[in-house]
A and B are shown apart, each in its own frame.
Chain A
Amino acid sequence: MIRFEGVTKRYADASGTDGGAGSVAVDDLTLEAPTGKITVLVGPSGCGKTTTLRMVNRMITPTSGTISINGRDTASLDVAELRRGIGYVIQHAGLFPHRTVLDNVATVPRLLGTDKRTARSRAMELIERVGLDPAMAKRYPAQLSGGQQQRVGVARALAADPPVMLMDEPFSAVDPVVREQLQNEFLRLQSDLGKTILFVTHDIDEAVKLGDQVAVLRVGGVLAQLDSPAKLLADPVDDFVAGFVGRDRGYRALSFAAAPELSLTDEPTVRLGAGADEVRAIGTPWVLCVGDAGEPLGWVRAAAVESEVTRSVLHRGGTVASTTGSLRALLDAALSSPSGRGVVADADGRLVGTIRAAEVIPAIEARRDAASSGAAAPSGAGTGATTSAADRPAEEATAR
């Protein structure tokens, strides 16, 4: 557990005039990042996120207040020892250009006195663990894409198996597709490793996706709200937080609600190569096409099939919800389907049935009624309040 107690950081005024109070970057912050969980610090640029993070490994010294890790005041520890026990990942990875990927990852174990061979074989394991091709190990950072460099940065931070990780906008500099991959793999990794993580981002969607709890900071370094992502979306404390959390809060909050068991409608299907007559015989304007394993491929407009169903006539705008997914994915599947019937698949990706938006809404309302009549504040999916971000309802609804 990382604990901030009344931590303030004041920078001397740039003008250097005496007597000036200086600008406050972090203001009387009291916060706990629980062991084994991801705590996200989020807020607009300049609100003191980086400063907060760097005070933990003492790259910045607080003006007042204390920071402790598992009950030990960080100020009392040897600074090199403290830092080697904390993984640190930053925006542009900050890899050493003159070392191979393997030696970059082996850095901290080497600093801790591990012999070269042991450090390298551990580094190799980590390189694979973060999803990199082992062939990358011999390359230099300049030979990697931004996303790959970021993976190396994560592997390097994990190399000495530190209990605590500090991550400063680690995924902000990569394109959205890669970012989403990195986020998903980060959650998968964390569900195995259970590190105590302080994660900084300016992106509220990332915060809500990754955080077990989210701390919203406002400019001047004041903590505005600390809550679970679901609570943050459902119940922002003030206009600043509401504005920062953004639009579509009600819809986005459904990400944290696991899809309940709903009765699905059986959907007649065709395979690729089915003739026009077979498609029209079903009698609906839109017909669902599935692959050999029963996985949904996309909708076809019966009238548009000339001789047979080919991939090129498939409509690909619809998303597929999973029975193990969230209410949001379920509703989105219905809303994005050209037929109005949302496609639902099981955990293995095989079609189970379809559902209409009108059938999802009652489930949403039932959930809200249950939450407001229950003693507890509206939480995630029923018992989901204590689940970690890593084992949330699978949110990604694959576009088909």
Chain B
Amino acid sequence: MTWALDHIGDIMFRAGQHAWLAGLPLVLGLVIALPLGWLAARRPRLRAVLLTTTGLLYTIPSLALFILLPPLLGTKILDPVNVIVAMTVYTVALLTRTVADGLSSVDGSTRQAAIAMGYGSFARFRAVDLPLAVPVIAAGLRVAAVSNVSIVSVASLIGISQLGYFLTDGYARSFPTEVWVGIVACLLLALVFDLVIQVVSRFLTPWTRVVAA
């Protein structure tokens, strides 16, 4: 405990880095997954291809990705961009299916009514399908957020600063307290992400909380 308090500045700093490395990819991944999921929801054949491909991306070990990306991107191994890109890949892998499922979960008669009212396909996506998919997408985002926070800590193995440092450093120094601090800080950070996503989702979906007739 005293160790944590003594190092609070360092912990907070690395937590900020960790949040950035896990959070920015969450946003980027969502932005990429939305059009991909939309395509998948519209075209049954494309759906199979897209979901299999993105699903496979998630199986690439993170350490391998951190090491493989620099030559691909022309970046240095210590460049945090590598981590951002890798985490974005994982987020896309997780969210494409979620977005596709969310968009196709819209009730058939609601969709028919929207078409019959003269909504074009993009307008329908924006005004009907997407808002109705928010609860499903938010659930997927929560999974992706936790997954990102945990995967990012691996990046300390290639020397990129974030909370994972306490795990590797504590292990190297045989100092369990530091390892515990790293674990708890990661947990708290995941919790914060989860909370933010839930709050935003609730704000966007007032209709889901009404009492049914």
Chain A interface residues toward B at CB < 8 A: 57, 59, 79-84, 86, 88, 90-99, 107-108, 111, 139-145, 148, 153, 156, 166
Residue on B nearest A142 in the bound complex, by CB: B212
B213 and A96 form a contact (CB under 8 A)? no
A98 and B118 form a contact (CB under 8 A)? no
A94 and B118 form a contact (CB under 8 A)? no
B119 and A140 form a contact (CB under 8 A)? no
- What is the size category of the interface that chain B forms with chain A? 20 to 34
For this complex, 11 residue pairs linking A to B, each with C-beta atoms less than 8 Å apart, are A80-B120, A81-B118, A82-B118, A83-B118, A97-B107, A97-B132, A98-B132, A98-B207, A108-B117, A111-B117, A142-B207
Q: Given A98-B132, A142-B207, check contact A59 B115 (CB 8 Å).
A: yes
A143 and B210 form a contact (CB under 8 A)? yes
Q: How far is the CB of A276 from the nearest CB of chain B, in Å?
A: 48
A96 and B118 form a contact (CB under 8 A)? no
Compute how far the CA of A156 lies from the CA of B114 in the bound complex, rounded to whole angstroms: 11
Contacts of B52 in A (CB 8 A): none
In the complex, whether B109 has a CB less than 8 A from a CB of chain A is: yes
* SS of B interface (majority): helix
Among B111, B113, B118, B131, the residue within 8 A (CB) of A111 is B118
Compute how far the CA of A111 lies from the CA of B212 in the bound complex, rounded to whole angstroms: 28
Q: How far is the CB of A288 from the nearest CB of chain B, in Å?
A: 41
Contacts of A108 in B (CB 8 A): 117-118
In the complex, whether B72 has a CB less than 8 A from a CB of chain A is: no
B109 and A94 form a contact (CB under 8 A)? yes
Closest 7 CB pairs of A and B: A94-B113, A94-B109, A88-B116, A83-B118, A80-B118, A84-B118, A140-B207
User: Which residues in window 26-72 of B have CB below 8 A to A?
Assistant: none
Contacts of B112 in A (CB 8 A): 59, 90, 94
Q: Given A59-B115, A83-B117, A97-B132, check contact A92 B210 (CB 8 Å).
A: no
Contacts of A98 in B (CB 8 A): 128, 131-132, 205, 207
Compute how far the CA of A142 lies from the CA of B207 in the bound complex, rounded to whole angstroms: 8
Q: Given A96-B128, A97-B132, check contact A142 B113 (CB 8 Å).
A: no
Q: Given A98-B207, A139-B210, A143-B213, check contact A111 B114 (CB 8 Å).
A: no
Q: Given A92-B109, A142-B213, check contact A97 B207 (CB 8 Å).
A: yes
B118 and A95 form a contact (CB under 8 A)? no
B213 and A95 form a contact (CB under 8 A)? no
B212 and A96 form a contact (CB under 8 A)? no
In the complex, whether B75 has a CB less than 8 A from a CB of chain A is: no
Compute how far the CA of A108 lies from the CA of B114 in the bound complex, rounded to whole angstroms: 10
Compute how far the CA of A349 lies from the CA of B113 in the bound complex, rounded to whole angstroms: 41
B118 and A91 form a contact (CB under 8 A)? no
B116 and A95 form a contact (CB under 8 A)? no
Q: How far is the CB of B154 from the nearest CB of chain A, in Å?
A: 39
Contacts of B114 in A (CB 8 A): 94, 96
A59 and B116 form a contact (CB under 8 A)? yes
Contacts of A83 in B (CB 8 A): 115-118
- Residue in B107, B114, B116 with the greatest tally of chain A CB atoms within 10 Å: B116
User: Which residues in window 104-153 of B have CB below 8 A to A?
Assistant: 107, 109-120, 128, 131-132
Compute how far the CA of A109 lies from the CA of B150 in the bound complex, rounded to whole angstroms: 49
B213 and A90 form a contact (CB under 8 A)? no
- Residue in A80, A82, A98 with the greatest tally of chain B CB atoms within 10 Å: A98
Contacts of B118 in A (CB 8 A): 79-84, 108, 111
Compute how far the CA of A97 lies from the CA of B211 in the bound complex, rounded to whole angstroms: 13
Contacts of B109 in A (CB 8 A): 90-94
Q: How far is the CB of B34 from the nearest CB of chain A, in Å?
A: 17
Residue on B nearest A91 in the bound complex, by CB: B109
Contacts of A80 in B (CB 8 A): 118-120
Residue on A nearest B131 in the bound complex, by CB: A98
Compute how far the CA of A230 lies from the CA of B166 in the bound complex, rounded to whole angstroms: 87
A107 and B117 form a contact (CB under 8 A)? yes
The contact string, 1 if C-beta is below 8 Å from chain A, for chain B 80-117, is 00000000000000000000000000010111111111
Q: Given A84-B117, A143-B210, check contact A94 B107 (CB 8 Å).
A: yes
Q: How far is the CB of B83 from the nearest CB of chain A, in Å?
A: 36
Compute how far the CA of A140 lies from the CA of B207 in the bound complex, rounded to whole angstroms: 6
A111 and B119 form a contact (CB under 8 A)? yes
Q: How far is the CB of B123 from the nearest CB of chain A, in Å?
A: 8
Among B113, B120, B132, B211, the residue within 8 A (CB) of A90 is B113
Compute how far the CA of A329 lies from the CA of B104 in the bound complex, rounded to whole angstroms: 50
Compute how far the CA of A84 lies from the CA of B107 in the bound complex, rounded to whole angstroms: 21
B117 and A88 form a contact (CB under 8 A)? yes
Residue on B nearest A99 in the bound complex, by CB: B207
Compute how far the CA of A96 lies from the CA of B110 in the bound complex, rounded to whole angstroms: 6
The contact string, 1 if C-beta is below 8 Å from chain A, for chain B 147-189, is 0000000000000000000000000000000000000000000
Contacts of A142 in B (CB 8 A): 207, 210, 212-213
Compute how far the CA of A338 lies from the CA of B118 in the bound complex, rounded to whole angstroms: 56
Contacts of B132 in A (CB 8 A): 96-98
* Given A79-B118, A90-B116, 17 additional A-B pairs, CB 8 A: A59-B116, A80-B119, A80-B120, A82-B118, A83-B115, A90-B109, A90-B112, A94-B111, A96-B128, A97-B107, A97-B132, A108-B118, A140-B207, A142-B207, A143-B212, A143-B213, A144-B213
